[in-house]
Chain A
Amino acid sequence: MTATLSLVGATLRGRCSVMFWFGLGGAALALLIVALYDTVSQGLDMQQYVDAMPEELLAAFGTPAEGLTGDTFPFDIYMSSQFFLWFALAVAVWGLIAGCGLIAGEVENGTMDMMLAQPVRRERYILARFTGVLAVLLVIGLACWAGLLVGLTLTEVETSILGLLIACLQMALLGLAVAGVALVLSVWTLGTRRSQMVMVGLLLAQYVMDLVSKISADLEWLGPLSLFHYFDSAKIVRTGSADGVAIVVLVGVALIGVVAATMLFARRDMAR
């Protein structure tokens, strides 16, 4: 247990500055966007907004036209389009970078030799490292939630605090699922750049699939193939409850990635 905690701690220390700045940036952005809600919502002519934008484009940016029928900008759609849509993408990209560098980065810079020369099982090593990534993502998610809570005190909006918490944690889960897939590639290639290149392609494809599934009814079937499909922040904020299927899918992808990476890592030659 001490070994595992030490490795988790080392992973956190190694990503301390990222965790701090990402968390702080997320919190600040969340606070700012919530704080601006009243001003943006009341100053906006919704009908003009809907008329000015093609329906597909609104959908692509997480703003379905059917949701924009009242006089004000609905809070769930506002938060989805102004914060979660963009920040979830940033979290996914961080998951990609962290996952790709987790094992390959250590092999490339030579620290893996020193660590695996210690009496520690490879399975424990990789699981502890990935737990460190999970911890970083949770901190980022919770920091965003804290920013949202502070922002709410500056507005008159009434929304479910639990819904915001679930949205932030599910955003972290999205990052974790991406990191899980990236980890497999990291162990497979033992090259950070190679795995990153493949992962960027995969992530881009996933993003586009989610986008086109929202724009075109004919391509709607592509949506469930994308990880982004399983993070509907507007729905979570609106209902204040979790989407069980989406959580199962995201956790499942992360778990499958970790198990596959662990099995691969246990057999892999650590050759630079």
Chain B
Amino acid sequence: MGSMGAETAIRTEGLTKFYGEARGIVDVDLAVRSGEIFGFLGPNGAGKSTTIRILLDLIRPTSGKASVMGLDAQAETVAVRGAVGYLPGEASFYDELGGDAFLDLLARVGNRQAPRRAELLERLELDASRKIARYSRGMKQKLAMVAALQHDPELLILDEPTSGLDPLVQQEFYAILREFSERGRTVFFSSHVLSEVERLCDRVAVIREGRIVTVDEIAALREKMVRRLVVTFAEPVAAGRLEVPGVTVVSAEGERVAMDVTGGLDGLIKRLAQFEIVDMEFDRPSLEQTFLEMYTGEEGEDGDDGDA
């Protein structure tokens, strides 16, 4: 038995799911700390949704264990879901209901209050009195957000949450998530949109073909990234004069030198300061690059749909 004040919001050990012969996830080990925004990154079919669906007991693991807020995700599933708000990527509704009626239904079914509903509806500028059948895709996504957050859960599980949202609403949604986290609540944020994970999350787990590739701080991941720097000098500089740890010269054509840089920049900047520089182009490090390096040429090979 666990408690709602658990230090680890989500823990999985050797979590494995096969759909018949098809791979869902294999030996997934995760530990999400309470109060952090944890990114769960991977291409479609990598197993993100499978993991989430096991946490919510929508599907049962083939082997391994999962706990949420210190509670066994299978044996104590009702208590787990009582502590969780869930936002699916493509939420579906009862179209014959109004937005308000749907939110009421969820609150009553879960036997919970909805203390944050009014505030969220206002911030997301959603008219909940209209019938859901008349909602646009973006409005439905907003309604799903309110549904996930209205009862002020301890843990928010988001599965590709921002698809269909316009940029302004996305910004408001990110702000809501940050405030949520600042109040000590935990966010488990599944996405294949790397920029939003980079912007929001404290740590990230990368999943590929059902297996966890890495779990790290966002800052640490950036440290591991390769950045491309192109420097135009006032006069030609020999590649050998730019030898600094963590720097590899890729090409040197006259005054223009391209180099890949990993780790800190201090040594390189000090070396460059010895020369007269006309121009510098520095690609900003992004998880996108790292992500692509991890998955180069393999994104299309994920046969199983982990979203099942």
Residues of A within 8 A of B (CB): 2-3, 5-7, 10, 13-14, 16, 109-111, 113-121, 267, 269-272
- Say yes or no: B86 contacts A117, CB within 8 Å: yes
The complex places the Cα of A271 from the Cα of B307 at a distance, in Å, of: 9
Number of interface residues of B (CB under 8 A): 33
- Say yes or no: A269 contacts B92, CB within 8 Å: no
Of the candidates A7, A111, A117, A120, the one whose C-beta lies within 8 Å of that of B58 is A117
Give the interface centre of B58, B78, B81 by most chain A CB atoms within 10 Å. Answer: B58
Residues of B within 8 A of A (CB): 19, 53, 56-60, 78-79, 81-82, 84, 86, 88, 90-94, 96-97, 101, 104-106, 108-112, 144, 147, 308
- Say yes or no: A3 contacts B110, CB within 8 Å: yes
List 24 A–B pairs whose Cβ atoms lie within 8 Å, in order of A's numbering: A3-B109, A6-B105, A10-B94, A10-B97, A13-B97, A16-B96, A110-B90, A111-B92, A111-B94, A113-B88, A114-B92, A115-B106, A115-B109, A116-B56, A116-B81, A117-B81, A118-B81, A118-B109, A119-B79, A119-B112, A121-B78, A269-B59, A270-B53, A271-B19
The complex places the Cα of A82 from the Cα of B60 at a distance, in Å, of: 51
- Say yes or no: B110 contacts A119, CB within 8 Å: yes
Which chain B residues lie closer than 8 Å to A110 at the CB level?
88, 90-92
- Say yes or no: B108 contacts A2, CB within 8 Å: yes
Which chain A residues lie closer than 8 Å to B79 at the CB level?
119
Which chain B residues lie closer than 8 Å to A2 at the CB level?
108, 111
Determine how close the nearest CB of chain B comes to the CB of A110; give it in whole angstroms: 3
Determine how close the nearest CB of chain B comes to the CB of A5; give it in whole angstroms: 8
Which chain B residues lie closer than 8 Å to A3 at the CB level?
108-111
- Say yes or no: B112 contacts A109, CB within 8 Å: no
Which chain A residues lie closer than 8 Å to B56 at the CB level?
116-117
Give the interface centre of B56, B91, B92, B112 by most chain A CB atoms within 10 Å. Answer: B92
Chain B residue with Cβ nearest A119: B82
The complex places the Cα of A13 from the Cα of B97 at a distance, in Å, of: 8
